Amino acid sequence: AQRVTQPEKLLSVFKGAPVELKCNYSYSGSPELFWYVQYSRQRLQLLLRHISRESIKGFTADLNKGETSFHLKKPFAQEEDSAMYYCALEVGGAQKLVFGQGTRLTINP
Amino acid sequence: DTGVSQDPRHKITKRGQNVTFRCDPISEHNRLYWYRQTLGQGPEFLTYFQNEAQLEKSRLLSDRFSAERPKGSFSTLEIQRTEQGDSAMYLCASSLAGRAENEQFFGPGTRLTVL
């Protein structure tokens, strides 16, 4: 069965410190993985997708098929990064998303 | 605002009542998804449409739930005989099939509270 696990519900770091949000997945097919973000009082929005291999707002994520992980990283956290982050796996012909439980990231000044 | 819209934003109802939610996707998007999100959890897939055809339904979607997309544009999600366990945020998303990126754009959600 397909599953996404985000082991940390809460993560708090100081401004300027590195950030890593963990995501592990379970899927028998070829994984397509995404990170979605929800800022306070805003809707869920795409942050980045693994297939693009891009950096958005200083965040990167590398797909590690051996470890079945897709951790989100940023070298220097900023206060505006405080938000809820969801890792998601795209499955099936419907391209529906299976989400993790989410990690609430708080950046302290 | 040309994004996905949902109506109402909040709904409070008594157990046993029927409720209906509406989603208006981005106009050129042919795929429409419904998700449900309970407190402390990520969104869970409920159902999806390509144009007017409902192509997949989750086992989470009991027979009290029905969704339609009659003209391939807006969609409605109806819950009959609501139960307290139906209290959740109901999210709608849309995307354009055929694009490699297949980004799903989410609406603001409808928060349902069943008393």
B56 and A94: CB-CB below 8 Å? Answer: yes
Q: Does the beta carbon of B108 lie under 8 angstroms from any beta carbon of chain A?
A: yes
Q: Quick check: B106 and A45 CB within 8 A?
A: yes
Using pLDDT thresholds of 50, 70 and 90, give the confidence band for residue B113.
very high
Of residues A91 and B86, more confidently modeled: B86
**Which of A59-68, A91-100, B5-14 bottoms out in mean pLDDT, i.e. has the lowest?**
A91-100
With cut-offs at 50, 70 and 90, classify the pLDDT of residue B104: very high
B54 in reach of chain A (CB within 8 A): no
Q: Which residues of A touch B44 (CB under 8 A)?
A: 99
What are the tens digits of pLDDT across the range A3-42? 999 999 999 999 999 999 999 999 988 889 999 999 999 9
Please choose, from the candidates B44, B72, B92, B55, the residue with its C-alpha nearest in 3D space to the C-alpha of residue A94: B55
A33 burial (CB, 10 Å; 0-12 / 13-18 / 19+) is buried
Q: Residue B87: what pLDDT?
A: 97
Reduced to 3 states (helix: H, G, I; strand: E, B; else coil), residue A80 is: helix
Residue of chain A nearest B54, judged by CA positions? A94
List pLDDT tens digits, range B69-100: 998 899 999 999 999 999 999 999 999 886 65
Chain mean pLDDT for chain A: 93
The arithmetic mean of pLDDT across residues B7-18, rounded, is: 98
Supply the mean pLDDT for chain B: 93
In this complex, is the C-beta atom of B45 within 8 Å of any C-beta atom belonging to chain A?
yes
Interchain contact B56–A (C-beta under 8 A): yes
B92 in reach of chain A (CB within 8 A): no
For chains A and B, what is the number of CB pairs under 8 angstroms? 52
